[in-house]
Structure 1
């Protein structure tokens, strides 16, 4: 069986025997990530695998259908210190492995900006003979609200009311209200910080949305959100298995979200005429396949993704220099420092 995971060093896939135990799974994760002391979480909201599950089969817990989250032990210990209540039983869902990059320092977030406008100008599209239509990429502004803007456009017309446009600000408020209304579900363990602190941060326009925000929007609007990773072509289906009638599709370049839309007139630029939701069943699987084809084009022809394993960074608080997300995560967890800048390559 194959099991996917995300960790401070990036995402990965494990190949395990179908009879593998949780203990064997944990050993494989430790070997793959290079971290000896980790906590592994699964489900939504995430709950940690415990020592008394060590001899259970991974399949018996449904882990072969999960996208596991690996956190360093220091992070888990800090969370337990808050004495938060047990995490409630999760609903099934998977989320993008790089969504955890919402904590990436703002100085590193501009790496995709020059690409965004260029891609938009090139009008990336894929023909869909199945429906005599075209699938196009709608590129979102690089304003730290790309997730909300991308999803908001897909929600247009889903409900009647005073805010049919579902702006980034309105979706931020919706997320915060949902977290506050469900304190037993969104504890400090799940959010990574005290709920009020998390909510105050999420209301700021310079704060990125991530896996928690996608899951909440999916739940509130009863909408499956399919996110396709440009680099790997992997499809992550937020809300899958919950019986939602409709789905939308987003493209994720590791630091940026864009929206996928269907048009029936070549060169159509007015987004109000876009088709952005499809039936969440086999009848629209060709949309997913064509979106993956689009992502291959984005990767191979336009290199439209950011590889967070290669950037060189410096801590402005202590002068430390390192390379890649893994080193950044380790330094931040060890020191608590967050004032980080990228060291640009000034070579020819």
Structure 2
């Protein structure tokens, strides 16, 4: 027997009665029964990152697809796909039996200034539920420095890449950039999973994933700049905080990142040209910048 979960906007449902010998149409009928989404407009995704299954052949067996017992199937409705006229009555009948899954509003990027503090501004905006405060960065930098200074064992030179004391002085400056260390610290402080979606690799890094947090916020990262992600609806404030169990929002974030990748909306940090704003030395890529910073103590770089 296949033990699958069906995750859609109207909740998560356990799918029973299917085996690897079941046909595709049986799966689609089960999804329709549980979610109210007609078979012809179902988008069924599986895996991580989620990828759509080609289920056009209703007679094919599930054993021919990358579906394993224990998998979670993410279900969305393809609003733009035309529905056959003959099925209009059947769709109405389904609606009377189960709640109709409305289309999930897509995520959008909320741009913040590229002022060396985009990470801090983005995290603050997201965890505060859409509150934009351009002056929040110094306070957040100070918060991180206090947390790091209070635990020199956990935040040692091996972790920070510099001494604990040097790091605390460095992160307080307004010309330094935040990254994975700072996201991890802020995730713990806010008791919130922070997901960073990379537009170059189309992957998501989940900070606090195993901590049991109930909330999740999302950022998008193009190699040098962070922006928060949000949902928008007419007449409603933007939504920036989501359930940590919401896999649909992760799938949407990855779709947004993939669209940005296709449009080349990212910076290849291994190849982009930089200049040290302290000594004016030209550098290529993030690796050279790190070496230069370690050798000279200079940490103010600009893209050429």
Structure 2 length-normalised TM: 0.58
Q: 1:164 to 1:222 in 2, by over 3 A?
A: farther
Residue 242 (structure 1) aligned with residue 211 (structure 2): yes
SS for the counterpart of 1:241 is coil
On the 8 A contact 1:317/1:337 being kept in 2, the answer is no
Consecutive unaligned residues in structure 2, runs of 5 or more: 1-78, 81-100
The residue that corresponds to 1:287 in the other structure is 249
Consecutive unaligned residues in structure 1, runs of 5 or more: 1-126
The residue that corresponds to 2:229 in the other structure is 260
Residue 190 (structure 1) aligned with residue 152 (structure 2): no
Q: Per-residue deviation at 1:317?
A: 9.6
Q: 1:307 to 1:260 in 2, by over 3 A?
A: same
Q: 1:332 to 1:248 in 2, by over 3 A?
A: closer
RCO higher in structure (CA 8 A, sep ≥6): 1
SS for the counterpart of 2:230 is strand
Listed one character per residue, the Cα deviations across residues 230-269 of structure 1 (whole Å, up to 9, x for unaligned) are 011101000111101111110010101011001112xx7x
Distance 2:249 2:156 in 1: 36
Alignment of 1:1-348 (within 5 A): 131-156=103-128, 167-265=136-234, 273-281=237-245, 284-301=246-263, 303-312=264-273, 323-329=284-290, 336=296, 338=298
Q: Please, what is the CA RMSD of the aligned residues? A: 3.4
Q: 1:342 to 1:287 in 2, by over 3 A?
A: closer
On the 8 A contact 2:221/2:227 being kept in 1, the answer is yes
Listed one character per residue, the Cα deviations across residues 167-215 of structure 1 (whole Å, up to 9, x for unaligned) are 2222112111211222221122222222222112211121111111111
Structure 1 length-normalised TM: 0.51
Higher-Rg member (1/2): 2
On the 8 A contact 2:116/2:174 being kept in 1, the answer is yes
Q: How many residues align?
A: 205
Distance 1:337 1:195 in 2: 15
Q: Per-residue deviation at 1:130?
A: 5.3
Distance 2:276 2:128 in 1: 42
Q: 1:227 to 1:274 in 2, by over 3 A?
A: same
SS for the counterpart of 2:106 is strand
Distance 2:303 2:153 in 1: 42
